[in-house]
Amino acid sequence: MMPSSRRNFIRNSASLLALASMRPSGMDFWAFEQKRRVALIGTGWYGKSDLFRLMQVATVELVGLCDPDRNQLKEATERINQRTRTNKPIPSYGDYRKMLSQEKPDVVLIGSPDHWHALQAIEAIKSGANVYLQKPISVDVIEGEAILAAARKYDRTVQVGTQRRSTPHLMEAKRRIVDTGMLGKVHQVEMCCYYHMRNSSNPPLQPIPEFLDYDMWTGPAPLRPYDGLPHRGWWRAFMEYGNGIMGDMCIHMFDAVRWILDLGWPDRISSTGGLFADNPGKSNIADTQTAIFEYQGLQCIWQHRTWGTAPDPDYPWAFKIYGEKGTLCGSVMRYDFIPAEKGERIHGDVVYEKERYPEDLKEKDIELHTAAATRGHMRDFLSAIDNRKRPVADIEQGHISTASCILANISMKLGRPLRYDPINRVVVGDPEATVFLKREYRAPWIHPDPKEV
C-alpha cells in the first residue's frame, strides 16, 4: 500500500496541475491561490486591460461581462478566450444590475466611462462584491461621498485605479528620496500634462447602430444627439461624461503627490482656464487650465495645455517636487533627483516585466509601461481583501483626489477659490458653489445620497 504522505503528495500535485491548467502563462500563482468570481463592467480598452492584469496575478473565474455595446461584448469574449485558450461562453449582460443580481461576483472591475462610476460602484458594493474602480471615481463630489459611505457601511474593499501608488520606480523614489529626508522641507509642487489629447472632431449626427443601447450607455448623463460611437476617446471630449483633462490626467499626478508627501484634503482650491485655442470641433473640455491646491506652507500647482510644446520634453506628464535640499521629478516613465547643492543625481526608470510576462508583448493596445504598476495594484487589492485592511489606493484616497479635481473645475467655472468641508459636504461660505457639488441626473436615474446608500 502506498504511504499516505506519498498519496497526499501525488493528490496535491495533481490538484495543483489541474488548477495551473486554468491559468494564463506568467501568473503569480503562489501569491493568490483562492479562486475569485470576477465580473467586468465596461468591456472596452481599459476594462479588458485591468481584467488581463488581474488574471496574471490571481485565479479567476469570469462570471460576467457587462456592456451596452454587443459588439464590444463579443470582442471581449473572443479576446478573453484567446488568452485563456478556451472556447467557453461567458455570461454577457447589457444591464449591470441584472448581472450583479444573477451572478453574485466576489470581485467587480469597473472600467466604464466616468459618468457611470458612482451608480455601478455602489450597486456592486451593495451586492457584496469588492470593487476595483477606475479613476476618477465620480463626476461630482457628492457621488464620491456616496461611494465612500457605501464602502464603509457594507465593509467592502474598494481599490481605485490610481496605480502610480503601485508604480515600481515611483515607489523606489518615495522610499529612497522622500522617506529618507533627501528632499528636505517641501514648499512647492508642479504637476503638468502637455499631451495633445483633446479630441476636436466635428462628426455629423447619424443613426444609432442596432448593436448599441445608447440610452443605457448614457444612463444618468445628459442624452447628447448621437454622432458616432462614444468609445475610447470621444466621450472624454465632453463635460457631460467626465471632468475633462483635470479628471483624466491631473488626478493621477495629484494623487501620486498626495501619496508621496502624505497629504490629505487641500485647504483651498483655485483654478483658471478654458477654451483658449482654436476649437473647430464639438469638444467642450478646457484646452488650457491651471489649478492650485493649497496646503499649510505648500502649493501644488497643476497646468495642462492641449497645444504647444512641453517645457521639459523628458517630463510632459509629470510632477516636480521642490524641496529645500533638492528636486524630485517623476512620471510614468522615470524619476530624477537633482540635489540643490553638492551631491549625486539619482535616476530611475520604468520597470518592464517582459521576461516574466511575455504575453504582454502580444496584447493588443497594451500600455506596456503601466502593466507592472497595474499588476502591483491588483496584488495590493487582493491582499487588502484577504487581510481585511485598506488598500494603498483606498476609496477615501481616490475620493479626495477626484473631488479636488472636480472642485478645481467648479472654481474655474465660478472664478473664485473654494474651501471644501468634507464633514458637512459643503463649500464653506459659498452656497452657489455648494449647488455644483451634485449634478442633475437624467430620469429615471436617481442621484445617490451618502446618507441613504
Q: How far apart are CA 13 and CA 21, in angstroms?
A: 12
Answer yes or no: is pLDDT of 249 > 90: yes
Q: 27 falls in which pLDDT band (50, 70, 90)?
A: very low
Answer yes or no: is pLDDT of 30 > 80: no
Burial class of 88 by CB neighbour count within 10 A (0 to 12, 13 to 18, 19+): exposed
Residues paired with residue 133 on neighbouring β-strands, in sequence order: 110, 160
Q: What is the CATH number of domain 10-163?
A: 3.40.50.720
Over range 291-320, report the average pLDDT: 98
What confidence score (pLDDT) does residue 232 get? 87
What confidence score (pLDDT) does residue 406 get? 98
Q: Write down the mean pLDDT value for the chain.
A: 93
Answer yes or no: is pLDDT of 69 > 70: yes
Q: What is the CATH number of domain 165-369+394-435?
A: 3.30.360.10
What are the sequence ranges of the domains in the chain? 10-163, 165-369+394-435
Contact (Cβ atoms closer than 8 angstroms) between residue 86 and residue 21:
no
Q: How far apart are CA 418 and CA 260, in angstroms?
A: 24
The three grid cell numbers given for residue 165, joined into one nine-digit string: 501608488
A 10 A CB-CB count for 336 gives 18
Contact (Cβ atoms closer than 8 angstroms) between residue 308 and residue 260:
no
What is the tens place of the pLDDT at every residue in 406-451?
999 999 999 999 999 999 999 999 999 999 999 999 999 999 999 9
Residues of the chain with pLDDT > 70: what percent? 93
Strand duo 298-305 + 186-193: pairing: parallel
0.85 surpassed by pTM? yes
- More reliable by pLDDT, 165 or 17: 165
Residues of the chain with pLDDT > 90: what percent? 90
Please state which of the ranges 7-16, 136-145, 304-313 shows the lowest mean pLDDT. 7-16
Answer yes or no: is pLDDT of 10 > 90: no
What confidence score (pLDDT) does residue 127 get? 98
What is the tens place of the pLDDT at every residue in 127-142?
999 999 999 999 999 9
What is the tens place of the pLDDT at every residue in 343-372?
899 999 999 999 999 999 999 999 999 999
What confidence score (pLDDT) does residue 278 get? 84
Contact (Cβ atoms closer than 8 angstroms) between residue 375 and residue 56:
yes
The dihedrals phi and psi of 437, each to the nearest 5 degrees, come to -70, -15
Q: How far apart are CA 380 and CA 113, in angstroms?
A: 24
What confidence score (pLDDT) does residue 2 get? 41
CB within 8 Å of 273: residues ≥ 6 apart:
286, 288, 289, 290, 291, 412
Answer yes or no: is pLDDT of 312 > 70: yes
Strand duo 420-421 + 298-305: pairing: unpaired
Torsion angle of the four alpha carbons 420, 424, 429, 435, in this order, in degrees rounded to the nearest 10: 80
Whether 10-163 shares its CATH topology with 165-369+394-435 is answered no
Taking alpha carbons only, the member of 259, 264, 265 closest to residue 178 is: 259
The three grid cell numbers given for residue 160, joined into one nine-digit string: 481605485
The three grid cell numbers given for residue 355, joined into one nine-digit string: 521576461
Answer yes or no: is pLDDT of 90 > 70: yes
Q: How far apart are CA 87 and CA 78, in angstroms?
A: 8
